[in-house]
A and B are shown apart, each in its own frame.
Chain A
Amino acid sequence: MVESRHLGELEQMVLLAVLRLKDGGYGKAILDELKNRGNRRVSPGALYATVDRLEGKGFVTSRLGDPTPGRGGKRKRYLSVTPAGVTALRKARRAWTSMSDGLEEIMEA
């Protein structure tokens, strides 16, 4: 199966959240960022599915952190966006801007 290079809306949001969080992007932090800044309440299951998909497309990579207190001593899986991921985001943004070009009256009301 050829994986789509196109970014879904949630995928975009997740990529942006990971970028915003710099080195601190792991499961819960991303959920919080999506909720607080993106005003999106995403369930953990949906996030994991999205992250797995992004990883499959090569847009994010992950590494394991050190064990931390709290969370039952479990390690965190930190994400970072690959150059390909950044390119995909730029493309999505360009597509959005050009599609909405000339519609400012509606879009910015």
Chain B
Amino acid sequence: MDHDECAPPRVAAALLSRCLPPGPVRETVMGDLREIYEEMVTGSATTGTPAGRSSPASVARAGRGRAARWYWNQAVLVGGRYLVSRIVRRRLYRGIAAPGGRPEGRRTQDRRPSGIGHDVRFAFRVLRRSPGFAVTSVLVLGLGIGSVSLMFSTFDTVVLQPLPFRNPDRLVWVWATSATVPQNSVSYLDFVDYRDGSDVFEALGAFAVFSRTAISTGDGAAEPLTVQYVSASLFGTLGVLPEIGRAFLPHDEETGRDAVAILSHGLWERHYGKDPSAIGSTITLNGQPADIVGVMPAGFDFPGATDVWLPLQRSAGYASGRGNNNFYIVGRLRDGVSIRQAQVQMTAVAARIADAHPDAKAGWTVSLVPLHERYFGSTRTLLLILLGLVSLVPLVAGANVASLFLARGATRRTELASRLALGASRARVIQQLLTESVVVTLGGGAVGLLLAYAGGQALRLFAPAVLPRLDGIAIDGRVVAVTMLVSLAMVPLVGMMPALRATDMEIADTLKTGGGWGATGRRSGVRSALVVTQVALSVMLMLASGLLFRSLRNLQRVDPGFRAEHVLQVHTLLPFFKYRTYAEMEQVWDAVHGRLAALPGVRMVGAIDRPPLMGVGPTSDIWAAERPPASAADMRDATRRFVTEDYFRVMGVPLVAGRGFETTDGEGAPPVTVINEAFAREFFPGENALGRTLVFDWSTPTNLKIVGISADIRETGPASSPVPTFYLPERWRPRTAMHLLVRTSGDPVASAGAVRQAIEDVDRDISIADIQTMASRLSRSTLRPRFQSALAGAFALIALVLASIGLYGVLALLVRQRSHEISVRLALGADPAGVVRLVLGHGMRLVGVGLLIGGAGGLLGSRLLRGALVGVSAADPVTYGAVSLGLTAVALVACLAPALRAARLDPAEALRAE
């Protein structure tokens, strides 16, 4: 490994170098850290975190990321320590040095006579004298900065961290695409042609689109396991090898060989107590034994929630035929090959396949996307929206604190004027004031980190269903660095303008009048501008969160087409090695249904092979008998579901025509189907579908008579539209896995125990994979929009509160500054109501301008939200109206207190104070 490759993160190294005192300390410390870093990267680390027991390749890869993180942390810790000790040292030396004399310190090569150390010490002293101001500023800034830190650390953890594979940026996902279907899986034969017909990939792996639930028997209770069929090449493509044992070999894909299996780390831990002798033993899946040849490392879970990987069988039904699009493809690009080059070559390969197999592949090509984008693309959009919104919060906080600084600058005018008069240069005083704002913003940064940490823990508790990988969320060197950057970026906003204003004065005038009263119109103009800024930014945030909230309400109001309340959903699997014939299966299902229906509190029982809200699920090619497709390109498919007679009644899905299924629609009866309205619209536009005949591809073309039409449901969640679906009677071809749907009269959760017991009473070998309520499923389908609108709402609330405080502050100051004038007016008989109107009017003018600017900004900005909005336009007048009203109401409250105080001013007292 050459040295450049070993160099630690450049930014961290530069940061560290700046913090260390120049000379031998800097050199030796930098050297030590670099040496440790190099060792961690080359994988033989003896310091730092242990590499664990994964394969060497993944160690090297993971080692680099871990080493970089480690280096960042050390840079911050070590650098911070030396920086602080340098500052402290300077303070000490300065303290004992003669005025104007140079300290004799060996280490402090202080080139500035008016050093930062002095200013920092002075800033602390000044801030200690006005704790209210200091605490408020630090908290307000902390709130603003912390929101950004939190969103950044979330974004960093969830989106920016590389996938846990070797060189994950070289991995691509291969979609099959056509004019109508943008993303599709491919057949095993396509996979072989991709692999053999291209040379852009170092390796190409495939895995089945379906995972099977298999029941492992032998030791103890039957347990359903998720089994995934993969190509022998998949693990090598991802660059992750088994922790113990071997990976699959190409000949494992041949049927007739001894069956082999690789276990997940979790299963190995759960069932074998991490005993290495599991390798070589046998696992029985659905009654079929397989030799365990390997165990994957902890943390490896691809394509997700897998317990056992089996090698795909080349001769199996799911791997034969061009039209059996049962596989997803992941490829590792060869070194030096860009995804664009690979796309060009793969397009050519796909064209050759389409030419050779026009019946199945006409019109199909491929598109390559980075694997990371495939998995985190949608999450990235969600988080980018939130990150964009949150970036407005520190601006509001900054504007808020800036006006605090301005107000304080006004009260300190006498002090500042004295210092200027005694010969301090304006630059020197500005430096001092800026140092104060640096201290305050860095304090705000520290508070922000605390808030971000707390927020991160909260997200871990509440958001894992929305965001993947949240377990890794932490405040690491990168988050600290970003927080510090944001804090320092606030300095000009918070400190610069107030510092310039505060020092821009006629010294003599200020000293004469005693300061404070001599506020010029210009300065109050700046403060007003700051308030307008806060109001405008708050309006933008409120608009965004309002629009997201309206979308959420729209989603929640959508009728899914079925009644989810009081339905328990029980994923049930028959031990199919026990029930082999359709008759046997029908019998045992009938027994289960009978038991459940007899339970107290149970009103009806139905079943479906794939319930709503579980994704699209299986589809079949299908056509009207009198209109067979002219070519493969004209072939259409529809969602296929197997249901029991009572399914429609249990789910509350009305039949709009014809009949539902009956017990007579069994194995020997002529096949019948019920279609939904979307199906009727798509396949029989403007015709009566009832009684017509469909042909669908059920290994052989099979005729189906349409006996009923059901209402549409929203299969994949409230945001989706109904898809053409045809239902088949479960009695016709009984299934081994069904979702039993139990409609109860009371709380369905209360019946769960009895339901489980009743099923076990029929046969202990029937396994229950999952029990949950339909209602919780339905509410989970809106988790992401709820999360989005809740966070956006929180940001808007913070902004609104800050803006109101800012508004209050400005008006309070205005009243104080003009109390003399107001008192005189009152003394001369002015109406107190008029005074209230005067102050309110001033405040509301600011609010009005802020509303206009914020509204315009919101109109521009909310275009970016468009993708996240459902049933509401980006310029939704209701949202705009509600936000304007809400903001005005809050602003009125904020203005009222100062206005009333003005009206109650005692003229005598105000004049006496003069």
Which residues of A approach B to under 8 Å, CB–CB?
Answer: 26-28, 31-32, 35-36, 41, 43-45, 48-49, 64, 70-72, 74-77
Contacts and interface: CB of A to CB of B under 8 A. Distances in A.
B35 A35 contact: no
B73 to A, nearest CB: 8
Contact of B24 (A41, A49, A77): A77
B74 A45 contact: yes
A47 B34 CA distance: 16
B28 A26 contact: yes
Contact of B46 (A32, A45, A72): A32
B47 interface: yes
Contact of A44 (B7, B25, B46, B74): B74
B78 A71 contact: no
Interface in B858-896: none
Contacts of B46: 32, 35-36
Given A72-B7, A74-B27, A35 B47 contact: yes
A76 B34 CA distance: 11
A43 B29 CA distance: 12
B78 A48 contact: yes
Given A31-B32, A72-B31, 5 more contacts: A28-B35, A28-B36, A48-B81, A75-B28, A77-B28
B34 A75 contact: no
Q: What 10 A-B pairs are tightest by C-beta distance, nearest first?
A: A74-B31, A27-B32, A77-B28, A71-B35, A71-B31, A45-B77, A45-B78, A71-B34, A72-B34, A28-B32
A36 B25 CA distance: 25
Contacts of B360: none
A74 B28 contact: yes
A41 B48 CA distance: 8
B38 interface: yes
Given A70-B38, A72-B34, A43 B74 contact: yes
Nearest to B25: A77
A44 B29 CA distance: 9
B31 A76 contact: yes
Nearest to A75: B27
Interface string B61-88: 0000000000000100110011000000
A45 B47 contact: no
B620 to A, nearest CB: 59
B30 interface: yes
Nearest to B8: A72
Contacts of A26: 28, 32
A37 B765 CA distance: 54
B480 to A, nearest CB: 14
Interface of B: 3, 7, 24-25, 27-36, 38, 46-47, 74, 77-78, 81-82
User: What secondary structure prevails in chain A residues at the interface with B?
Assistant: helix
Contacts, number: 68
Contacts of A74: 27-28, 30-31, 34
A77 B31 CA distance: 9
Given A28-B47, A36-B46, A64-B24, A71 B32 contact: yes
Contacts of B38: 70-71
Contacts of A43: 74, 77
B638 to A, nearest CB: 61
Contacts of A49: 81
Nearest to B80: A45
Which of B29, B30, B35, B38 has the most chain A CB atoms closer than 10 A to its own CB?
Answer: B35
Nearest to A77: B28
A48 B36 contact: no
Contact of A32 (B7, B24, B29, B47): B47
B29 A27 contact: yes
B28 A64 contact: yes
Contacts of A64: 24, 27-28
A109 B332 CA distance: 56
Contacts of B30: 72, 74
A44 B33 contact: yes
A52 to B, nearest CB: 8
Contacts of A71: 31-32, 34-35, 38
Nearest to B6: A70
Contacts of B27: 64, 74-75
A64 B29 CA distance: 12
Contacts of B47: 28, 31-32, 35, 41
B35 A48 contact: no
Nearest to B37: A71
A41 B47 CA distance: 8
A26 B34 CA distance: 13
A32 B31 CA distance: 15
Contacts of A76: 28, 31-32
29 contacts: A27-B31, A28-B32, A28-B35, A28-B36, A28-B47, A31-B32, A31-B47, A35-B46, A36-B46, A43-B77, A44-B32, A44-B33, A44-B36, A44-B77, A44-B78, A45-B74, A45-B81, A48-B78, A70-B35, A70-B38, A72-B7, A72-B30, A72-B31, A72-B34, A74-B28, A74-B30, A74-B31, A76-B32, A77-B25
A77 B38 CA distance: 18
Contacts of B81: 45, 48-49
Contacts of B32: 26-28, 31, 44, 71, 76
Nearest to B81: A45
Contacts of B33: 44
A27 B38 CA distance: 15
A90 B286 CA distance: 70
B217 to A, nearest CB: 45
Contacts of A77: 24-25, 28
A49 B29 CA distance: 12
Nearest to A31: B47
B40 to A, nearest CB: 11
B166 to A, nearest CB: 25
A29 to B, nearest CB: 9
Contacts of B34: 71-72, 74
A77 B67 CA distance: 23
A31 B35 CA distance: 12
B486 to A, nearest CB: 24
Residue of B7, B25, B27 ringed by the most chain A CB atoms within 10 A: B27
A38 to B, nearest CB: 13
Interface centre among A36, A70, A71 (most CB of B within 10 A): A71
Contacts of A36: 46
Of the candidates A48, A64, A76, the one having the most CB atoms from chain B within 10 angstroms of its own CB is A48
A27 B81 CA distance: 16
A75 B28 CA distance: 6
Nearest to A47: B32
Contacts of B3: 70, 72
A43 B47 CA distance: 9
Contacts of A72: 3, 7, 30-31, 34
Contacts of B31: 27, 71-72, 74-76
A36 B47 CA distance: 9
Nearest to B28: A77
A25 to B, nearest CB: 12
Contacts of A35: 46-47
Contacts of B35: 28, 70-71
A24 to B, nearest CB: 13
A75 B298 CA distance: 40
Nearest to A42: B47
Which one of B28, B46, B78 has the highest number of Cβ atoms from chain A below 10 Å of its Cβ? B28
B72 to A, nearest CB: 13
B742 to A, nearest CB: 54
A45 B16 CA distance: 12
A67 to B, nearest CB: 9
B643 to A, nearest CB: 60
A48 B30 CA distance: 12
B367 to A, nearest CB: 44
A14 to B, nearest CB: 14
B36 A31 contact: yes
B2 to A, nearest CB: 12
B378 to A, nearest CB: 39
